[in-house]
Amino acid sequence: MNLDHAVVIGASISGLLTARVLSDYFRQVTLLDRDSLPTSAAHRQGVPQGCHLHVLQAKGEQILSQFFPGLEIELLQAGATRLDLGSDLFWYQYGGYRVRFNSGITALCLSRPLLEASVRRRVLTLQNLTCLERCAVQGLVAHEDRSRVTGVRIQQRSEGLPEETLAADLVVDASGRGSRTPTWLEALGYSRPQETVIKVGVGYTTRIYQQKAQALSQAKAVFIPPVPPQGKRGGGLFPIEGDRWIVTLVGWFGDHAPTEEQGFLNYARSLACQDIYKAISQTEPLSAFTTHRFPSNLRRHYEQLQRFPAGYLVIGDAICSFNPAYGQGMSASALTAAALDRCLQAASRRNTWHRLAQDYFQSAAEAISNPWRVTVGEDFRFPEVEGAKPIGTDWINGYMANLQKTTLRDPEISRTLLQVMTLTHSPKILFSPKVILRVIKDHWEFRYAERTP
């Protein structure tokens, strides 16, 4: 393959990371987005989810810091807060708070626009990168025999400009969940990828508040996930830059929080614990309500396609879009960008490029499999979920419910679960003999203590 020019469709988290990776291999990289890209940490239309709570897991942060050294310091200077997920977060589930302890497992809390703007600023300084904003990709251009994608058809949004063609040696689709790759592939005579769809009917309602430390005793953040099968409501209150809180109330299967003052407060009060309700009752709202509907987890299995055009790849939410309530999406995007980097390294070492798509989609599928298991496994605890349930899910979820209850008392188990949720460790560690024994022991001790008068 010629390594002259690569094009990336979409300049959100996946597109920015992809452009950074490609800049090490291609002479020139063009990053396209149909939006106007703000120069500051502002919301934009193309990323409507940006108004809502976004937690960057430890693994995502690690990968971002590898590609953008010094990013963490910049974000902290801009007002992000670092939370220890064991000691700074009130996590209420199964009738109690998780045990509080110094876990050393942390998360950076900040608004999604601040994260994206900081990463974007760094990408835009790359010497071999050109960014075209207000430029929508309308379709692919292919070689006569359709074996290779040779560019994209673009429409710049400046008035009166006709559609143009941009030639490329590699095109990467990072255009998010709404990606049109399945349709574009079909138009070139290829099959669409199989899709796994797990319906959850999730709705987010979010509002920003002035921080008021006294309103949260000892904690910096609160997380109250629902406990299925009865519980359908959850919420999170996290610090963001500018001494603000972002408060997101989440409901499954249509049980969504209202967008007016009293209804929102009542919904917060209806959660399993009152911490969010009490905190927001004592402080000033700084924004209007925003909502986001998320119908289903969606995974497109490009790794299973027998035929795929050379010179074309797909990344991020365009491959897999996760129920956001578990905060896995940006880190999964980072994992797939790291997988792309490894595949490009291997291909340039061997100087053979014909297996790039095959190797990359396989590596991306492996990278996605853990966050997918975590997310979809949790969702299947709701009996209303629609979709193909992997064999053994009910058994695993029965065990996971006991493990989650153990986190109310056992710091080691809590740490292990946090390592899995933050994607630094494989879910396999939850099934080691040591962990299983601790969960069983806790279960019996607790039941015994409950029955002893």
Instruction: Single out the residue of 387, 375, 283 nearest to residue 331, CA to CA.
Output: 375
141 contact partners, CB below 8 Å, separation of at least 6: 149, 150, 151, 152, 153, 165, 167
- For ligand FAD, the binding residues in 337-356 under the rule CB under 6 A are none
10 part of the interface to ligand FAD, by CB under 6 A: yes
- For ligand FAD, the binding residues in 172-211 under the rule CB under 6 A are 174-177, 204
Nearer to ligand FAD, 135 or 435 (CB): 135
99 part of the interface to ligand FAD, by CB under 6 A: no
Residues in binding contact with ligand FAD, number by CB under 6 A: 37
- Least distance from ligand FAD to the Cβ atom of residue 211, Å: 19
Nearer to ligand FAD, 80 or 439 (CB): 80
272 contact partners, CB below 8 Å, separation of at least 6: 92, 93, 95, 224, 226, 227, 231
Nearer to ligand FAD, 12 or 406 (CB): 12
Measure Cα distances from 236 to 39, 109, 136 in Å: 29, 12, 35
393 contact partners, CB below 8 Å, separation of at least 6: 377, 380
- Least distance from ligand FAD to the Cβ atom of residue 325, Å: 8
Strand partners, 152: 140, 166
Q: What is the spatial distance between Cα 137 and Cα 156, in angstroms, rounded to a whole number?
A: 9
Q: What is the spatial distance between Cα 408 and Cα 105, in angstroms, rounded to a whole number?
A: 17
Instruction: Single out the residue of 346, 97, 335 nearest to residue 221, CA to CA.
Output: 97
Instruction: Single out the residue of 432, 431, 402, 407 nearest to residue 418, CA to CA.
Output: 407
233 part of the interface to ligand FAD, by CB under 6 A: no
330 part of the interface to ligand FAD, by CB under 6 A: yes
* Strand bridging mode 89-93 / 221-224: parallel
Member of 8, 21, 41, 55 binding ligand FAD (CB under 6 A): 55
Member of 8, 30, 31, 33 binding ligand FAD (CB under 6 A): 33
Member of 49, 150, 296, 375 binding ligand FAD (CB under 6 A): 49
- Least distance from ligand FAD to the Cβ atom of residue 361, Å: 15
- Least distance from ligand FAD to the Cβ atom of residue 387, Å: 18
239 part of the interface to ligand FAD, by CB under 6 A: no
- Least distance from ligand FAD to the Cβ atom of residue 174, Å: 5
377 part of the interface to ligand FAD, by CB under 6 A: no
DSSP type of residue 43: -
Q: What is the spatial distance between Cα 179 and Cα 171, in angstroms, rounded to a whole number?
A: 13
Near ligand FAD by CB under 6 A, which window of 9-17, 252-260, 297-305, 341-349?
9-17
Nearer to ligand FAD, 43 or 212 (CB): 43
Q: Which two three-digit tokens encode residue 262?
A: 């009293």
Q: Which residues bind ligand FAD (CB under 6 A)?
A: 9-15, 32-35, 46-47, 49, 52-55, 136-137, 174-177, 204, 292, 294, 316-318, 324, 327-331, 333
